[in-house]
C-alpha cells in the first residue's frame, strides 16, 4: 500500500492503494490532480448549487429557453480553432469502459475512435477507476496485453497505436466525486481525477506518437460548466508545458438545458473544442428529470426514438450549430448489439443500427457511436455511402431553426403495462450489475448503461407521481401497482432470466430495494449513481 504521507500537504487517500496501482498514483501525478482540484472543487459545488436553483425555477413553471444574455454569441459569426488532422475522420466511434480486454478489443475494432468511458458505462469503484488508468497507460506505451483466464485467449494491439482507434476518454460528470481522494478535506471532482491522471501520464506520449490528448465531456447543463472545463484545460497545459489549445474535447449535448446553450458551450471551449455529440439517452432522461413538474409526459421508452419531433429537432440543431462553427457534429448511440443464437432478432438489430446511422449520415452528422465491435462495419457502411469524404463539416443547415417549443414538445405515444414492466425489470437488472461493479450490460438484447437505466427509473417515478401516469388500459400507475409488478418481475428475473444461483450471488435484492426506494419517494433523486455510490465506495 502506498504511504499517504508522501503525497504532500492537504492530500489524503481514504482507501488503501494496492501496490499494482502505485505507478498510477505517483506523488507527481497526485500533486498534479490536487492542483487541478484546488482550482475546480469549490466552483464545481457552486455549479451544482446553480443546477438546484435552476431546477427550483423550472419546478415553479419556468421553461428552458435560449438565454437573452448570450444572444451576441449566438448571432455573431465565429468558428472554433481548427481540429488536428488525425481526428479529421471520426465516422465510427466505439464506446466502452476501459477494462483490459475491452480496451484492446475496442482499439483493434476498426473504429476511428474509442470513447473510453469513465461515465455511463463505468461503475466508479476505486479499483475500476485505477485499473482503467493503468490500462490506458499500458495501451499508450503500446505494451498492453491480456491473457483471458476464462478462455485462454491472448490479446494484444493489432498494430501501432496511431494505426488503431483514437483514444477519447470521457471523465466523470460534475455530479460525481472521487471520495477516495481528499484535497484540503474535500473530495476531488470525479472528472478532475480521471482527466488529471490520464493527462499527466499520457499527454506528452500521445503527442510524441503523433496523436494528442482528446476527450469527451459529459452531462453538462450550462456553458458555465464548460467554462470550468476550459479553465482546467488551460491550467493543465500550462503546468505540463504543453501548448495551449492542444487538448481537444467533444461535449455531449445530453441535457435538455445544454441544447439551448450549444453555441455558448462551443464558445467557452473554442480553443479546445472538437465539437458536440448527441447523447440521446441522457437527453431523454434529462427531459423527464428537468421537466418533471410540467405536463410533459413521455410515452414508453421504446417509443422515444430519434425520429420523434423533439429528438429530431435537437439532432438537426446540433448539426447546424457545429457546422456553422466549423466543427464536428457527432451522432449518438444505437443501443442494439448482436443477438447470439437468434438469427431473426440479430438481423433486426443490424437493420436498426443501419437505419439509425443512415439517417444520421444523411442529415449531416460527421460520425457516430456504436456499443459493440460487431456493429462497427454496419455503421461504417452507412457513413461511407453518404459521406465518402472524412467529414461533412462544410454542410450548412440554414433552414433548420427549431423554436424552444419544438425542442420541448412531448411526442404522442402510449404508456403501456409492457413498458412499465420493462422499465422495472431493466432498471433492477442494470442496478444489480452496477452494484457488482459493471457499468454496462446486455439486457433483453440491448446495451444498458447508466443513461439508459436512468430513463427507466425516471419514467417509473414520473408515472407514479404524475396524474397523467395512466396505462393505456385505464389502470392508474401507483405504488400498489408498482409493488405488485416489481414482485412479479423479480420472480421472473430469478426463475427465467438469470436463474436462482446468479440471483443469489449478484445484488438483485439490493438493486430492487434501491429501485423501489427511488421510484416511490416524493423527491426525485438527481442521479441513481449517487445513492448507488454510497453502496459501492
Ligand atoms: C448512453 C451512452 O453513454 S452509450 C456509451 C456508454 N455505453 C457503452 O459504452 C457500452 C459499450 N458496450 C458494452 O459495454 C458491451 O458491448 C456490452 C456490455 C453491452 C455487451 O458486452 P458483452 O456481453 O461482452 O458482449 P459480447 O459477448 O457480444 O462480446 C463479444 C466480444 O466483443 C467484445 N466487446 C463487446 N462490446 C465491446 C466494446 N464496446 N468495446 C470493445 N469490445 C467489446 C467483448 O469483450 C467480447 O470480446 P471477446 O470475443 O474477445 O471475448
Ligand atoms: O452518453 C450518451 C448518452 O446517450 O447518454
Ligand atoms: Mg450519457
Q: What is the ipTM of this complex?
A: 0.99
Those residues whose C-beta lies under 8 Å from the C-beta of residue 127, and which sit 6 or more positions away, are: 18, 437
349 CB near ligand 1 (under 6 Å): no
pLDDT, residue 6, reads 76
Q: Is 371 helix (H, G, I), strand (E, B) or coil?
A: coil
Which grid coordinates belong to 109?
Answer: 475494432
| Cα separation, 21 vs 189, whole angstroms | 20
Measure the CA–CA gap between 477 and 464, rounded to whole angstroms. 5
Residue 4 predicted with pLDDT over 90: no
* pLDDT 10s digits, 242-267: 999 999 999 999 999 999 999 999 99
Residue 506 confidence class, pLDDT cut points 50, 70, 90: confident
Q: Is 449 in the pocket of ligand 2 (CB under 6 A)?
A: no
User: What pLDDT does 451 receive?
Assistant: 97
Architecture of domain 414-536: Up-down Bundle (1.20)
Choice from 93, 95, 96 to test ligand 1 binding pocket (greatest atom count within 8 A of CB)? 96
Binning pLDDT at 50, 70 and 90, where does residue 193 land? very high
Q: Which of the ligands is closest to the CA of residue 117?
A: 1
What's the rounded mean pLDDT across residues 47-53? 98
Q: pLDDT tens digits for 341-365?
A: 999 999 999 999 999 999 999 999 9
Compute the average pLDDT of residues 422-428: 98
Quick one: what percent of the chain has pLDDT higher than 90?
98
CB-ligand 1 contact for 102 (6 Å cutoff): yes
Q: Which atom of ligand 1 is nearest to the CA of 101?
A: 45
Is the CB of 120 within 6 Å of ligand 2?
A: yes
Report the pLDDT averaged over residues 508-523: 96
Residue identifier of the C-alpha nearest atom 28 of ligand 1 = 338
Residue whose CA lies nearest to ligand 1 atom number 23: 442
State the distance from the centre of ligand 2 to the C-alpha of 450, rounded, in angstroms. Answer: 9
**How many Cβ atoms sit within 10 Å of the Cβ of residue 431?**
27
Domain positions in the chain are 4-334+341-405, 414-536
Ligand 2 centroid from CA 472, angstroms: 29
Q: Is 157 in the pocket of ligand 2 (CB under 6 A)?
A: no
Residue 521 has phi, psi (to 5 degrees) of -65, 150
Ligand 2, atom 3, lies closest to the CA of 279
Residue with cell 441544447: 259
Query: Ligand 1 pocket, 439 CB below 6 A?
Result: no
Q: pLDDT at position 3, please?
A: 46
Residue 151, all three cell numbers: 478462455
Q: What is the pLDDT of residue 507?
A: 86
Active-site residue list: 170, 449
pLDDT of 414 > 50? The answer is yes
83-113 pLDDT per residue, tens: 999 999 999 999 999 999 999 999 999 999 9
Please, what's the b/e burial string for 198-219 (b: 16 or more CB within 10 A of its CB; e: otherwise)? bbbbbbeebeeeebbbbbbbbb
Average pLDDT, the chain: 97
CA separation for the pair 465, 394 (Å, rounded): 46
pLDDT in tens, 131-154: 999 999 999 999 999 999 999 999
Determine the residue of 371, 375, 527 to mutate for testing ligand 1's pocket, defined as the one with the most ligand atoms within 8 A of the Cβ atom. Answer: 371
Q: Return the ligand 1 atom nearest residue 114 CA.
A: 40
279 Cβ below 6 A of ligand 2: yes
pLDDT for the residue numbered 5: 54
Distance of alpha carbon 218 from alpha carbon 60, whole angstroms: 27
Overall CATH class of domain 4-334+341-405: alpha beta
pLDDT at 26 over 50: yes
pLDDT per residue as tens digits for the range 281-321: 999 999 999 999 999 999 999 999 999 999 999 999 999 99
Contact 133, 199 (CB under 8 A): no
Task: Quote the pLDDT of residue 318.
Answer: 98
Predicted confidence (pLDDT) at residue 1 exceeds the cutoff of 80: no
In this structure, what are the phi and psi dihedrals at residue 160, rounded to the nearest 5 degrees?
A: -65, 150
| Average of per-residue pLDDT across 395-411 | 98
Amino acid at each position: 500500500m502506498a504511504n499517504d504521507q508522501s503525497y504532500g500537504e492537504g492530500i489524503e487517500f481514504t482507501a488503501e492503494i494496492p501496490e499494482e496501482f502505485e505507478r498510477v498514483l505517483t506523488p507527481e501525478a497526485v500533486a498534479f490532480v490536487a492542483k487541478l482540484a484546488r482550482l475546480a472543487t469549490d466552483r464545481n459545488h457552486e455549479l451544482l448549487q446553480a443546477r438546484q436553483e435552476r431546477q427550483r425555477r423550472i419546478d415553479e413553471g419556468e421553461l428552458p429557453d435560449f438565454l437573452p444574455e448570450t444572444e451576441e454569441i449566438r448571432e455573431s459569426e465565429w468558428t472554433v480553432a481548427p481540429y488536428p488532422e488525425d481526428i479529421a475522420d471520426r465516422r465510427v466511434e466505439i464506446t466502452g469502459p476501459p477494462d483490459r480486454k475491452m480496451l484492446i478489443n475496442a482499439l483493434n475494432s476498426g473504429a476511428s475512435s474509442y470513447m473510453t468511458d469513465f461515465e455511463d458505462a463505468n461503475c466508479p469503484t476505486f479499483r475500476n477507476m485505477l485499473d482503467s488508468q493503468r490500462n490506458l497507460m499500458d495501451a499508450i506505451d503500446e505494451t498492453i496485453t491480456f491473457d483471458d483466464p476464462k478462455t485462454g485467449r491472448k490479446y494484444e494491439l493489432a498494430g501501432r497505436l496511431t494505426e488503431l482507434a483514437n483514444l477519447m476518454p470521457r471523465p466523470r460528470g460534475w455530479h460525481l466525486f472521487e471520495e477516495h481522494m481528499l484535497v484540503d478535506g474535500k473530495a476531488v471532482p470525479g472528472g478532475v481525477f480521471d482527466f488529471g491522471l490520464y493527462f499527466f501520464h499520457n499527454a506528452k506520449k500521445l503527442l510524441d506518437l503523433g496523436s494528442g490528448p482528446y476527450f469527451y465531456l459529459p452531462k453538462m447543463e450550462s456553458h458555465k460548466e464548460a467554462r470550468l472545463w476550459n479553465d482546467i484545460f488551460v491550467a493543465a497545459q500550462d503546468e505540463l508545458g504543453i501548448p495551449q489549445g492542444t487538448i481537444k474535447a467533444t461535449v455531449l449535448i445530453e441535457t435538455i438545458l445544454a441544447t439551448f446553450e450549444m453555441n455558448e458551450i462551443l464558445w467557452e471551449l473554442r480553443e479546445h473544442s472538437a465539437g458536440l455529440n448527441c447523447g440521446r439517452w441522457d437527453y431523454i432522461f434529462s427531459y423527464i428529470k428537468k421537466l418533471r413538474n410540467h405536463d410533459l409526459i413521455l410515452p414508453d421508452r421504446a417509443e422515444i426514438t430519434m425520429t420523434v419531433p423533439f429528438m429530431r429537432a435537437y439532432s438537426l440543431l446540433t448539426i447546424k450549430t457545429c457546422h456553422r462553427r466549423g466543427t464536428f457534429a457527432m451522432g449518438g448511440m444505437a443501443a442494439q448489439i448482436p443477438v447470439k443464437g437468434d438469427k431473426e432478432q440479430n438481423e433486426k438489430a443490424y437493420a436498426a443500427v443501419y437505419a439509425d446511422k443512415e439517417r444520421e449520415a444523411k442529415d449531416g452528422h460527421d460520425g457516430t457511436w456504436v456499443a459493440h465491435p460487431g456493429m462497427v462495419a454496419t455503421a461504417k457502411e452507412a457513413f461511407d455511402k453518404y459521406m465518402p469524404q472524412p467529414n461533412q463539416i462544410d454542410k450548412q443547415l440554414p433552414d433548420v431553426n427549431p423554436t424552444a417549443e419544438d425542442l420541448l414538445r412531448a411526442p404522442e405515444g402510449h404508456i403501456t403495462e409492457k413498458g412499465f414492466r420493462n422499465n422495472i425489470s431493466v432498471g433492477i437488472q442494470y442496478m444489480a450489475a452496477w452494484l457488482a461493479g459493471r457499468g454496462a450490460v446486455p439486457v433483453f438484447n440491448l446495451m444498458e448503461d447508466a443513461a439508459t437505466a436512468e430513463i427507466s427509473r425516471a419514467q417509473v417515478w414520473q408515472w407514479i407521481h404524475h396524474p397523467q401516469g395512466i396505462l393505456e388500459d385505464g389502470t392508474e400507475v401507483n405504488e400498489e401497482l408498482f409493488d405488485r409488478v416489481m414482485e412479479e418481475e423479480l420472480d421472473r428475473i430469478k426463475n427465467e432470466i438469470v436463474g436462482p444461483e446468479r440471483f443469489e450471488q449478484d445484488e438483485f435484492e439490493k438493486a430492487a430495494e434501491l429501485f423501489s426506494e427511488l421510484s416511490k419517494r416524493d423527491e426525485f433523486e438527481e442521479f441513481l449513481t449517487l445513492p448507488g455510490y454510497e453502496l459501492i465506495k
